[in-house]
Amino acid sequence: MTATEQVGVVSSEVGAIEGDLELRGLVKRYSGTTVVDSLDLTIPSGQLFALLGPSGCGKTTTLRMVAGLEQPDEGSILLSGNDITQLRGFRRPVNTVFQSYALFPHLTIFENVAFGLRERRASDIKRKVERILETVELSALAQRKPAQLSGGQQQRVALARAIVNEPQVLLLDEPLGALDMKLRRQMQYEVKQIQSDLGLTFLHVTHDQEEAMTMADKIAVMNGGRIEQMGAPEELYESPRTAFVANFLGNSNLLPGIVLGHESELAMIDVAGQQVRVPSARVHATDQSVFVGVRPEKIRIARDHDVAAAGENELAGIVLDSSYTGIGTEYVVEVAGSNETVKAFVQNDSVRERLAPGTSVRLIWQLGFTFALDGSQDPHAGEGTAVGADTQHVAAVGARGRAARRKRR
Amino acid sequence: MTSATTAGRRRWAPYLLLAPMVVWLLAFFLSPLVTLVMGSLQSGSFQEGFVFTFEVANYVHVVTTYWPWFLRSVAFAAIATVCALLIAYPLAYMIVFKSGRWKYLLLVLVVAPLFASFLVRTLAWTTILADQGVVVGALRTVGLLGPDQWLLATPVSVIAGLTYNFLPFMALPIFVSLDRIDRRLIEAAGDLYASGFRAFRRVTLPLSLPGIAAGTLLVFIPAAGDFVNAQLLGSVDTQMIGNVIDSQYLRALDYPTASAISVTLIVLIIGLVALSLRRARTDELF
């Protein structure tokens, strides 16, 4: 370690775990626009953490600040308890897999991978490079130049070039964005595999909600430079706290309602004259005016003989439209006594007649799938910004349908 | 239209497209070259006329008599090329990476001297480097030049003139090759623990080698054959091979000797260029 390096690393916290990455009050502005707005985030060691958000939400800027490619205007970055905010990028024990791969065109694959090791004057370079090339199954191409490789192969070189340095944190900037669907799926799996094998901390930046959900242990959804919500994929999907998260991760029905009162851990909410119950823990609003939310695939469309159980919500409505999507049928149902519509996705898992427009139906779903959000926000926030593998469809199909689709492929 | 004629057209199209260039090369490159080589093997005099006698002795005469001029030309051109590289590389680097929105204005300024005549620009240097001029005065003040020393009519002024006159031809290709480098590669080098200097050494410099090679050719070749700079800024002792060709053709009217010198110069330059390119290719060029 050189003298400057030691000056740059100031131990500020005792007991921090090796590899923990902590961002404190990070702010970045570009000519007056705040791109990252007082961001606080702790990424525990050994996790695959995804920063998910639409383009322009500040996720890539956050990653570049961690890499040392941008300097934050305010706040600090701590790695294993050491403040690295002032440390120059090339002195930070982090490596990046760039979206464009940024492989050196004049060097062979071997030399590309060996680049970081040579800069650090590591020992045993040949063995280390050969082993990592074996891991990514590129040993045979070691003497080729990057231009002679396919996109997927280049992607693996970029990954190997970063991982071979055994960084404390590996930063991935939309690393699979340039690959086609099939290859992306395969690489998602491989990256996840490598991460759990090596036990490294991965910070994965992506705008693909499906990719984030399949790969990450934990996701932070970013919007407008701030974190909207953070949690495990299931948590974000099943219990979104804002309209943005509800719409960006999959599809949600958000119906305006008024909280009437609470009864034994349940909030009673009036929706167009009908009553809906939401577990109090799933009400993320302070005001009486709320949006009641439920995912389309959680809803059952009931006719006369089907009655709601004690643990279920029920809304009467009229079928407006339906579309057949193969594995399922999507209904648009107007809630009785209002102009609000609800999307319901019904899996075609039994023989039944498609309901004609105008049919009176009842929408039934379990209480535990209901959530309530603050009524003052835009119920359409985050809609249409989600990008991924035919997102609209996937979003509507949801978890059950996704599993089915994967099986078909 | 029948398919046969279409196929016929297809077959001839490439040749028709090539034709103008072939004609141009034949008329303006190959035929003068052949004439030159033929001329270099003639004997006789201007008064009695020259005859083709396959006079290989011309070459022996040229090499034995004029080798110091050849040597000086190659040395001057080589030094001027190195000087141009040392000036043009930082210049192009600054324009590409540090000048921001002034980039293209600065690039135009690099090329701007070419708008003035080559001769006039070189003549201007006789004023700049004159004994009573600013440069000599300044150098004398700092003591780099004694009171009885001067710049004009020395190798220094000839090399300075060559460097100045051919600088844009070095700066432009280097500018292009630096400008083409993906900045993200330099970021990636930094990400892989390379300091600013190391990233330059291992990424920027190797990727700009094609520009350096092109610039070196564009400066060295014309500089080796130049005679204007030596004529205007030099003395009898700093004459280059171009001056010899000039005087043999236009004053001595010894066409075979002048032709033999020209052919020798061409062969010499091609040999040197081939040698240096072969060495460069074994390096990190792609």
Give me the DSSP letters along B180-232.
TS-HHHHHHHHHTT--HHHHIIIIIHHHHHHHHHHHHHHHHHHHHT--HHHHH
Q: How far, in Å, CA of A52 to CA of A390, rounded?
A: 17
**Nearest C-alpha in A relative to B196:** A90
Give the DSSP H/E element, type plus range, for residue B263. Answer: helix B255-282
Instruction: Test A98 with B182 for CB contact under 8 angstroms.
Output: no
Q: Which long-range CB contacts under 8 A does A226-232 form with residues at least 24 apart?
A: A226/A37, A226/A38, A226/A39, A226/A58, A227/A39, A227/A40, A227/A41, A230/A41
Instruction: Determine how β-strand A82-83 pairs with β-strand A10-11.
Output: antiparallel
Give residues with Cβ within 8 angstroms of A370, minimum separation 6.
Answer: A276, A277, A278, A279, A282, A292, A293, A294, A313
A126 backbone φψ class: left, alpha, beta (φ>0; ψ -120 to 50): alpha
Q: Which long-range CB contacts under 8 A does B102-109 form with residues at least 24 apart?
A: B107/B175
Q: Chain B contacts of A91, Cβ < 8 Å?
A: 193
Instruction: Test A145 with B195 for CB contact under 8 angstroms.
Output: no
End-to-end CA distance of chain A: 51
In this prediction, residue A55 has a pLDDT band, given cuts at 50, 70 and 90, of confident
Q: How far, in Å, CA of A341 to CA of A337, rounded?
A: 11
In this prediction, residue A228 has a pLDDT band, given cuts at 50, 70 and 90, of very high
- pLDDT at residue A351, rounded to an integer: 79
The amino acid that residue B264 corresponds to is T
Q: How far, in Å, CA of B44 to CA of B46, rounded?
A: 7
Q: How far, in Å, CA of A53 to CA of A387, rounded?
A: 9
Give the DSSP H/E element, type plus range, for residue B280. Answer: helix B255-282
- pLDDT at residue B3, rounded to an integer: 59
| CB distance A366 to A311 below 8 Å | yes
What interface predicted TM-score (ipTM) does this complex get?
0.82
- pLDDT at residue A194, rounded to an integer: 87
Q: How far, in Å, CA of B243 to CA of B156, rounded?
A: 17
Q: Chain B contacts of A98, Cβ < 8 Å?
A: 184, 187-188, 191
Digit-by-digit pLDDT tens for chain B (286 residues) are 455 667 777 888 888 999 999 999 999 999 999 999 999 999 988 888 888 899 899 999 999 999 999 999 999 999 999 999 999 999 999 999 999 899 999 999 999 999 999 999 999 999 999 888 888 989 999 988 888 888 888 999 999 999 999 999 999 999 999 999 999 999 999 999 999 999 999 999 999 999 999 999 999 999 999 999 999 999 989 999 999 999 999 999 999 999 999 999 999 999 998 888 787 665 544 4
- pLDDT at residue B177, rounded to an integer: 96
Q: What are phi and psi of A244, to 5 degrees?
A: -60, -50
Asked if the model's pLDDT at residue A37 lies above 70, the reply is: yes
Instruction: Test B203 with A104 for CB contact under 8 angstroms.
Output: yes
| Placement of tokens 């993906």 in the chain | B182
Give residues with Cβ within 8 angstroms of B266, minimum separation 6.
Answer: none
Q: How far, in Å, CA of A265 to CA of A367, rounded?
A: 12
Asked if the model's pLDDT at residue A10 lies above 90, the reply is: no
Q: How far, in Å, CA of A168 to CA of A92, rounded?
A: 9
SS3 content of chain A, % helix, strand, coil (to 5): 30, 35, 35
Q: pLDDT tens for residues A93-102? A: 999 999 999 9
Q: How many residues does chain A have?
A: 409
A263 backbone φψ class: left, alpha, beta (φ>0; ψ -120 to 50): beta
Q: How far, in Å, CA of B194 to CA of A354, rounded?
A: 64
By percentage, how much of chain A surpasses pLDDT 90? 62
Label residue B280 exposed, middle or buried (CB < 10 Å: 0-12, 13-18, 19+).
Answer: middle
How much is the average pLDDT of A32-37?
90
Q: How far, in Å, CA of B220 to CA of B212, rounded?
A: 12
By percentage, how much of chain A surpasses pLDDT 70? 89
Q: How many CA atoms lie within 13 A of A330 on its CB side?
A: 18
The CATH code that applies to domain B25-282 is 1.10.3720.10
User: Can you give the residue ranges of every domain in chain B?
Assistant: 25-282
Q: How far, in Å, CA of A79 to CA of A92, rounded?
A: 9
Asked if the model's pLDDT at residue A35 lies above 80, the reply is: yes
Which of B3 and A386 is assigned the larger pLDDT? B3
Q: Chain A contacts of B201, Cβ < 8 Å?
A: none
- pLDDT at residue A408, rounded to an integer: 44
In this prediction, residue A276 has a pLDDT band, given cuts at 50, 70 and 90, of very high
Q: pLDDT tens for residues A153-203? A: 999 999 999 999 999 999 999 988 878 888 888 888 888 888 888 888 999
- Which residues of A have a CB under 8 Å from any CB of B? 67-69, 88-91, 94-96, 98, 100, 102-107, 115-116, 119-120, 145, 161-162, 165
Asked if the model's pLDDT at residue A260 lies above 80, the reply is: yes
Asked if the model's pLDDT at residue A399 lies above 60, the reply is: no
Q: Chain A contacts of B285, Cβ < 8 Å?
A: 106
Q: How far, in Å, CA of B250 to CA of A244, rounded?
A: 85
- pLDDT at residue A295, rounded to an integer: 94
Q: How far, in Å, CA of A242 to CA of A224, rounded?
A: 13
| Placement of tokens 């060559």 in the chain | B162
Arithmetic mean of pLDDT over chain A: 86
Give residues with Cβ within 8 angstroms of A173, minimum separation 6.
Answer: A60, A63, A64, A96, A97, A98, A99, A205
| CB distance A219 to A231 below 8 Å | yes
- pLDDT at residue B228, rounded to an integer: 94
| CB distance B194 to B202 below 8 Å | yes
| CB distance A57 to A37 below 8 Å | no
The alpha carbon of residue A177 is apart from the nearest alpha carbon of chain B, in Å, by 16
Give residues with Cβ within 8 angstroms of B14, minimum separation 6.
Answer: none
- pLDDT at residue A365, rounded to an integer: 94
- pLDDT at residue A404, rounded to an integer: 42
3-state secondary structure of A283: strand
Give the DSSP H/E element, type plus range, for residue A14. Answer: none
The amino acid that residue B163 corresponds to is T
**Nearest C-alpha in A relative to B205:** A106
Both tokens of A343, joined, read 């999307």
Of B182, B194, B207, the CB nearest to A90: B194
